[in-house]
Amino acid sequence: MSTTTYSSNNVLNAVAAAAKVLDERKEEVNRLNVFPVPDGDTGTNMSLTIQSVVSNVANLPIGALGADIRKAITTGALMGARGNSGVITSQILRGLCEGSQSFDEFDVESIAASFDRAREVAFQAVRKPVEGTILTVLRDSAAAAKVAVEQELSIPEALDAIVAEAYASVQRTPDLLPVLKEHGVVDAGGFGLAILFDAFTAALLGRSGTMVDEMSFARGSHPKVEIEQVNDWEGSQYRYCNEFLVDSDTLDKDAALEFLSTMGDCELCVGEVPKFKVHVHSDHPDQVLKYFLDHGQISEVFIHNMQIQSAERTEKLAAEEQAERKPLGFVAVAAGSGQAEILKSLGVDVIVSGGQTMNPSTKDLLDAAGSVNADAVIILPNNSNIIMAANSAAELSETPCAVVPTKSVPQAFSALFAVDVDASLETNVEEMTEAAQAVKTGEVTWATRDSKDAEGNPIAEGDVIGIADGSIETVDDSIDGAVLTLLGKMDAEDADTCTILAGEGYSDEDLEALVAKIEEAYDELEVDAQRGEQPLYPIVFSVE
């Protein structure tokens, strides 16, 4: 068996990365929320719970001990838990921490012990566990962890096996819970938990993408997860979702749960003296609060009217469905807020964050294309390193999809000006590609290491470098100098327009001064300067 282990810092960084992924995908989880009632939004509630953990851990001093870290995780989860799914998630995290207490290293044995304890704690927290929910996914994942020990798998192999089983369990949930099969969805909480496991594993092992990529469900024997909003308020017995914290040295959890069961359903009372988290659906919030006030102090009180919430969700869905479907939609990659705003003003429907140092995955682009309300979609990758992922997304898209292989945002600008919404997808791709290829792009940044330019001249770390269509063409000691040199090499005297995108940190004053220099050097060149706010590249420009 592999002896490779990971530090507490590695694990905590992976938790933070998983929290970020869940936050990005929370709406995907929310749309699956059909059980047991519209109790908040499952994805949002789980995300808020994990974010509370990350925030609490971030307050720890450098070099904090394992016991302090575990306490920060369990306290953060308990204090930040939202909704039924959030409270259960907090108990899963508590169990994972408790299960790891007797181990000095993060290895397969400690992983299995942590999952087994998480299963035990989570099931204890729920008075009437239901099959086909987050608890089922947790139990199946714990079983996979146990098998990993028996098979003497390495840490990466064990984590992959756990993630694979979590997703497989999610796909089985409709067979266990009739309401899920009725609506054609999988369990929201279980799916959210699988996403967390997946993202944690990817981050810990240093992978750029998660297991649930564009192929995972398509290749499985079970149907692909379908995201469908439903209104399941009808028939619910209780109106209010009540949740709050209780500070008490005398509260009896069993007695509290007995009381809560007389008030409503989905009752939870978790934690230990002196901190408890209470959750219940009830028509009598006043009586629920009075009971716990008689036993201690309460705080962080959240009372949601689920009937109103369900009506709002239905109204939102109706608005989405009524939105006019377009014949042609667009997805574009952008690295800065300014770039994104300009692209949207030119008709782009969905912006995917990314660029030279942060390439979005095929899954990111596939999801973006799938979210566009259009008969066909064109993806503008805007970076040579993203074109391959964009092509993969286009091939996998259920909606007719194609790629215009733009290598920069300025190329995307010109491509979008060439759109003819009345023409076919193929014709638009051809015309847009031709327009993009007529654009020459220049970029100015700083060298991150010693190197050489296109002519073999030395480049020292920290030098200002000018890049023309992917080739380092100049080295300078100033941004303005690099831009002017590039313009000369790019035959700006023969061009009509120059579009400039100023990066984050590049001031408006410096931008005005640069424009003045360009206009002085090329009096017939029309200069259009905009805020691009892209990182690392103070200036990105084009000539055409």
**Are the C-beta atoms of residues 353 and 335 closer than 8 Å to each other?**
yes
Q: How confident is the model at residue 256 (pLDDT cuts 50, 70, 90)?
A: very high
- Residue 52's pLDDT is what? 93
- Residue 313's pLDDT is what? 66
- Residue 84's pLDDT is what? 80
**Are the C-beta atoms of residues 264 and 281 closer than 8 Å to each other?**
yes
HSE-up of residue 272 (Cα within 13 Å, Cβ side): 7
Angstrom distances, CA of residue 385 to CA of 278, 393, 407, 543: 49, 14, 8, 22
User: Where do the structural domains in the chain lie, given as residue ranges?
Assistant: 8-219, 240-309, 324-437, 440-543
**Are the C-beta atoms of residues 378 and 432 closer than 8 Å to each other?**
yes
Alpha-carbon dihedral 11, 17, 19, 23, rounded to 10 degrees: -170
> Which range is least confidently modeled, 1-15, 107-121, 289-303, 441-455?
1-15
Nearest to 516 by CA among 541, 468, 484, 488: 484
Q: Which residue has the higher pLDDT, 152 or 225?
A: 152
Residue 1 has pLDDT above 70, yes or no: no
DSSP code at position 357? S
H or E stretch including 448? none
> Cα separation of 295 and 272, whole Å?
14
Cα angle: 436, vertex 324, 429; to 5 degrees: 20
Q: Is-cis flag, bond preceding 285, omega within 30?
A: no
**Are the C-beta atoms of residues 18 and 50 closer than 8 Å to each other?**
yes
Decide: helix, strand or coil at residue 465.
strand
Angstrom distances, CA of residue 542 to CA of 80, 191, 357: 48, 44, 20
Q: How confident is the model at residue 359 (pLDDT cuts 50, 70, 90)?
A: confident
- Residue located via tokens 């390495």: 154
- Residue located via tokens 């575990």: 70
Sign for the CA dihedral angle at 190, 164, 48, 352 comes to: negative
Angle, helices 42-58 vs 83-99, to 10°: value is: 40
Spell 109-131 as b/e; 16+ CB within 10 A means b: ebbbbbbbbbbbbbeebbeeeee
**Are the C-beta atoms of residues 301 and 224 closer than 8 Å to each other?**
no
> Cα separation of 415 and 409, whole Å?
10
- Residue 115's pLDDT is what? 97
Nearest to 38 by CA among 371, 367, 319, 316: 316
Decide: helix, strand or coil at residue 276.
strand
β-strands 464-468, 440-446: how paired? antiparallel
- Residue 136's pLDDT is what? 96
* Residues 240-309, CATH architecture: 2-Layer Sandwich (3.30)
**Are the C-beta atoms of residues 276 and 270 closer than 8 Å to each other?**
yes
Phi, psi at 164, each rounded to 5°? -60, -40
**Are the C-beta atoms of residues 411 and 386 closer than 8 Å to each other?**
no
Greatest mean pLDDT among 54-63, 353-362, 432-441, 461-470 lies in: 432-441
Residues 6+ away with beta carbon under 8 Å from 344: 351
Number of neighbours of residue 159 by Cβ within 10 angstroms = 25
| Mean pLDDT confidence for 370-395 | 93
Alpha-carbon dihedral 348, 354, 355, 358, rounded to 10 degrees: -170
* Residues 440-543, CATH architecture: 2-Layer Sandwich (3.30)
Q: How confident is the model at residue 456 (pLDDT cuts 50, 70, 90)?
A: confident
Angle, helices 253-263 vs 285-293, to 10°: value is: 160
H or E stretch including 112? helix 108-125
Residue 236 has pLDDT above 60, yes or no: no
Q: Any bridge partners for residue 539, and if so which?
A: 444, 502
Number of neighbours of residue 420 by Cβ within 10 angstroms = 11
> Which range is least confidently modeled, 53-57, 149-153, 315-319?
315-319
Nearest to 281 by CA among 266, 293, 292: 266
Mean pLDDT of the chain: 87
**Are the C-beta atoms of residues 162 and 148 closer than 8 Å to each other?**
yes
Q: How confident is the model at residue 321 (pLDDT cuts 50, 70, 90)?
A: low
CATH superfamily for 324-437 is Phosphotransferase system, mannose-type IIA component (3.40.50.510)
Q: Any bridge partners for residue 454, and if so which?
A: none
> Cα separation of 87 and 82, whole Å?
6
> Which range is least confidently modeled, 142-151, 189-198, 234-243, 445-454?
234-243
8-219 in CATH: which number? 1.25.40.340
